[in-house]
Chains A and B, each alone.
Chain A
Amino acid sequence: MIRRVDGTVIAIIVRTASDRTFDELYQQLWWPMHRVATGLADEVSVAEDVVQDAFVATFERWGMIRDRQSAVGYLRAAVENGSRSVLRRRRTARRYRQFVVDEAVDTADHSVLRIAERGRVLEAMRTLPDRQREVITLRYVAELSDADIAQATGLSQGGVRSASSGALAALRTTLGGQV
């Protein structure tokens, strides 16, 4: 499963125990990390790169990571940081990007209304500061606890709660009675 540049005895020894655990982590967490990165970076192809980079970074430090929980925490932080870097790089481009929503004009079909509602929520999300948007995404897409969000973002748990409540308040204000 794992391709290596080194085919040495050292690599063979490592494979006996460490690789299996890393493989398991990769199999388990690739998909959830991919979803979270998509939520954070808002683009599938970019999210795939972010997740790939995060797993490579984790793999490179695998021998120094104490246990699985530490590995998961490191991985989450790597995904979150990678997504943030991507957003910084294309912030200017995003500023001029227009979100297009299929508005429900002639029909009250539920799916159409739901798409329109989603569009309004996403537009409102884009007005939030990066930290608030990250916390909201990690909470509602990744379904992480405050403690896990704090670990991934580097905020305190109080900071996470503050960012979350601030974000929700801002969303309420922006969306008004629209949703």
Chain B
Amino acid sequence: MARTASPANFDAVRDLVGELCDCLDREDFAAFLERCHPDFQYEIRAYSPELRRDMTWFCQNRSELSALMAMLPEQVRIPAKLLRHVSVRRISAGDRTTRLTAESTFVALRTAETGETSVLACGKYFDEFVQKRGVLTLIARTTVLDTRDLGQGIHVPI
């Protein structure tokens, strides 16, 4: 059975989840990846009621994600910004105190250049962190989307 993390680790995890959202909201992907472990894996999943099974919509490791984000300036995109509103629901430690997991809910809001805001997506983050020499890094994030109609779609991690 997973143990509850210490209060200090709890705060560190909660702070890091918030920082990661800030980085993504600013589209500062270098800062996002700085907070990720070298073995970082990022995945976006959704359940299909049509197929009655889970689908993987995005699966990248750190270097793959870095390469895709480097290509962003050349992609044709909606001129808009995202704001991720996140709430950490629970944090727990695995067998090793160096491994922590967090489950959070999120809502991503998109604000167009005209100032109009709409809900883009909601879902959950299932995060896994590694703590080494007092430094906490994200080693895995699985984003499970409730929202499956993403309109045009997006080029960045949600």
A binds B: no
Residues of B within 8 A of A (CB): none
